[in-house]
Amino acid sequence: MDLDPEEAVSGFLRDEEEACGPESEGTLSLHAFSDLTHVSPIVFLYLLKECYIHGSIKATKKFQALQHRVHQVLANKPQPGPATFIVQCLNVLPVFGTYGEGFSHLVISSLRRYFKTASEQTSEEDVSSARRLAARLFVAIVGGSVAYDEKAYNVIKKNYLQHDFPELSYKCKESALKDLAEKACWDVAEIKAKGERKLLEYLVYLAMEAGYYEKVDELCERYSLEGLPKAQEAEAGLVDKCFLQLNDLAVEDVVWVDEVNGLREATSFLKGCKVIGLDCEWKPNYTKGSKPNKVSIMQIGSDSKIFILDLIKLYNDASQTLDRCLGQILQSYKTLKLGYNFQCDIKQLALSYGDLECFKRYDMLLDIQNVFKETCGGLSGLTKKILGVGLNKTRRNSDWEQRPLTQNQLEYAALDAAVLVHILRHVPDDPPHDSSLERVQWKSHIVSHMENPKKSKNKPKKKPKCDATQTSASDI
C-alpha cells in the first residue's frame, strides 16, 4: 500500500477544517491513499470504520468529511475500477455489522458524486463488472444467503416485482407488523395487514405472545380465523411469561365512576389519603398531522382502592362538578400525588378540557421517574427494577373510548395508578449517609403549579415546601 504521509496529514487538516469550521473543537481521523491498486475493499472499509470510530466531531460532519474523502480516493486507481470497487465494498459490508447500513449509503453517494465530477469516464469493462456483481448481490439478498433489509424490499416495490420475490416481500411485511406490535400499535398493524389471511394469522400470534387475549378474540371473530397452530403454541409458551397482576398488589376494589354521586364519593375518599397515584389514558390517533384525541379516562387511587373516572361522560354531564372535585384533589397540599411523566399527561388534560380550571393548577405532585435515575423501559422497566416484575403494556394503545371498557383494560388502567404507590414504598427515608439534605432528597422532586394564569407573569414562583414530617415513604 503506497501511502503518502505528507498528503495524509495535509488532507486531514484541510478536511477537518472544512467539516468542522476553523473554531470547532474535536478531531476526525482521515486516511488518504495515493494509490489504491493493491488495497482490498475490506481493508479500505476497516480503515474507514476506524476513522469514524475515533473521530470526535458530530456524526453528521464526520459522515460528510468521510464522504468527501471516499469521493477523492476513487480517483486513486481502485482495481478493476471505481464502480466495481464500490460494489465489492457492498459485498463485504455485512462483516461490519451495525456500520453496514450507514457505510453503504456513504460509499454509494460517494460513487455518484465521483461520476458527476470525474474528469474522465470510467471504462465500459468497469461498469459491466459492477453490474454483474450488483445483480449477484441482489439475488443473494433475495435468496436469503445475505441478510435482507428494507432497502432490498424498496427496490422490489419500486419496480413492481412483489410477485417475482414473494418470500422477501412477505418477510418485510412480517417484520413491519412485529415492529408495530412491539410499540403496541395494534390498530395500525391490522390496517397494514390489508386483510391478508397469512399476515392476520401472524398478528394473532403476536397478540397471543403478548398476552393480549381480547385482541386475539377480536381479530379471530372479525376475520373468521380458526384453528391457528401458531396461536396455540404461543398460548402454551405464555405460561412462562410473567407480568405484575393487580392481585399481586392486594388492590381490594376498582370503581368505575361515570356519574356525579360516584364522583363525590371518590373525591371524599381520595381527600383522606396521604398518598395517591395518578394516570390517564386516551385513544391513539394515527392520522398524521391531526390533534390527539381527548383524554378518555383518569385513574386515581390509593394502594388498595382505585377509581377510574370516565372524563368524557362526566364532562358532558356535569363539567362544573368535575372541575370542582378534581380541583380539590389535585390542589390539595395534604395529599401527595404520584405520577409517571404526569406533567406531560396534565398538559394533555388541559388541552382536552381547556375550560376546566382543575388541570391548570396542582400542588404536591411527585414524578416517580425523577426519583429513580437511570431507568429504561418506562414505567414497566422501573416496576421490574423495583418490584422484580414488569407491567404488560400491550393495551396501552387500545381503544379507550369504547364503552364499556374490557375487564383487561380496567385492570391495566388501575394497575398503572396503584403500582406508583407501591414503588414509592421502596424509597428509603433514611439514606446511608446521614445528612438533612439527603434525608429529604426524594421530597426535593415534589413540584407545584398553583399560580393563577391570569395573574402577572412577573410574580416570582414560590418553591414547594417539603415538610419532612408531612409525608414519608414509610407512612404509605
pLDDT of residue 143: 60
For the chain, give the percent of residues with pLDDT over 70.
Answer: 75
Instruction: Compute φ and ψ for 148, nearest 5 degrees.
Output: -80, 160
295 has which bridge partners? 282
Instruction: Compute φ and ψ for 239, nearest 5 degrees.
Output: -60, -35
Residue-wise pLDDT for 362-409, tens only, equals 999 999 988 886 567 789 889 998 999 999 888 888 899 999 999 989
Greater confidence (301 vs 147) lies with 301
Residue 417 pLDDT class (50, 70, 90 cuts): very high
* The C-alpha cell that represents 303 in the structure block: 394502594
The mean pLDDT of 347-369, rounded to a whole number, is: 94
Mean of the per-residue pLDDT values for the chain? 79
The mean pLDDT of 126-135, rounded to a whole number, is: 85
First to last CA, the chain: 71
Closest CA to 279 of 463, 129, 106, 416: 416
The mean pLDDT of 304-311, rounded to a whole number, is: 97
- Is there a contact between 328 and 267 (Cβ–Cβ < 8 Å)? yes
pLDDT of residue 288: 75
Greater confidence (328 vs 172) lies with 328
pLDDT of residue 259: 97
> CA–CA separation, 322 vs 264, rounded Å?
9
* The C-alpha cell that represents 98 in the structure block: 451495525
pLDDT of residue 328: 97
> CA–CA separation, 66 vs 28, rounded Å?
9
Residues in the chain: 476
pLDDT of residue 29: 52
Residue 414 pLDDT class (50, 70, 90 cuts): very high
Query: Angle at CA 371, nearest 5°, toward 367 and 377?
Result: 80
Greater confidence (459 vs 442) lies with 442
Residue 283 pLDDT class (50, 70, 90 cuts): very high
The mean pLDDT of 200-223, rounded to a whole number, is: 86
Residue 357 pLDDT class (50, 70, 90 cuts): very high
Lowest mean pLDDT among 194-208, 280-294, 392-406, 421-435: 421-435
365 has which bridge partners? 337, 447
- Inform me whether the pLDDT recorded for 200 exceeds 50: yes
The mean pLDDT of 423-427, rounded to a whole number, is: 87
pLDDT of residue 50: 83
278 has which bridge partners? 300
Which region, left, alpha or beta, applies to residue 26 given φ > 0 means left and ψ of -120 to 50 means alpha? left
- Inform me whether the pLDDT recorded for 323 exceeds 90: yes
Residue-wise pLDDT for 19-72, tens only, equals 444 444 555 555 555 666 777 888 888 888 888 887 777 777 888 888 888 887
Q: 165-179: b or e for each residue (b if 16 or more CB lie within 10 Å)?
A: beebbeebbeebbbe
- Those residues with Cβ within 8 angstroms of residue 471's Cβ, 6 or more apart along the chain or in another chain: 274, 275, 336, 443
Burial of 462 (0-12, 13-18, 19+ CB in 10 A): exposed
- Is there a contact between 425 and 476 (Cβ–Cβ < 8 Å)? yes
What's the per-residue H, E or C state across the chain?
CECCHHHHHHHHHHHHHHHHCCCCCCCCCCCCCCECCCCCHHHHHHHHHHHHHHCCCCHHHHHHHHHHHHHHHCCCCCCCCHHHHHHHHHHHHHHHHHHHHHHHHHHHHHHHHHHHHCCCCCCHHHHHHHHHHHHHHHHHHHHCCCCCCHHHHHHHHHCCCCCCCHHHHHHHHHHHHHHHHHCCCHHHHHHHHCCCHHHHHHHHHHHHHHCCHHHHHHHHHHCCCCCCHHHHHHHHHHHHCCCCCHHHHCCCEEEEECCHHHHHHHHHHHHCCCEEEEEEEECCCCCCCCCCCCEEEEEEECCCEEEEEEHHHHHHHHHHHHHHHHHHHHCCCCCEEEECCHHHHHHHHHHHCCCCCCCCCEEEEEEHHHHCCCCCCHHHHHHHHHHCCCCCCCCCCCCCCCCCCCHHHHHHHHHHHHHHHHHHCCCCCCCCCCCHHHHCCHHHHEEEECCCCCCCCCCCCCCCCCCCCCCCHHHC
Name the amino acid, one letter, at 357. E
- Inform me whether the pLDDT recorded for 281 exceeds 90: yes
Which region, left, alpha or beta, applies to residue 50 given φ > 0 means left and ψ of -120 to 50 means alpha? alpha
371 has which bridge partners? none
Domains detected in the chain? 5-147 (no CATH), 166-240 (no CATH), 246-475 (3.30.420.10)
The mean pLDDT of 285-308, rounded to a whole number, is: 91
- Inform me whether the pLDDT recorded for 354 exceeds 90: yes
> CA–CA separation, 446 vs 368, rounded Å?
10
pLDDT of residue 266: 98
Which residue matches cell numbers 477544517? 17
pTM equals 0.59
> CA–CA separation, 331 vs 346, rounded Å?
13
Most confidently modeled range among 92-101, 213-222, 460-469:
213-222
Greater confidence (257 vs 138) lies with 257
* The C-alpha cell that represents 62 in the structure block: 464526520
Residue-wise pLDDT for 154-191, tens only, equals 666 666 666 766 776 787 788 889 888 888 888 889 99
- Inform me whether the pLDDT recorded for 147 exceeds 50: yes
Instruction: Compute φ and ψ for 160, nearest 5 degrees.
Output: 55, 45
Query: Angle at CA 14, nearest 5°, toward 9 and 20?
Result: 120
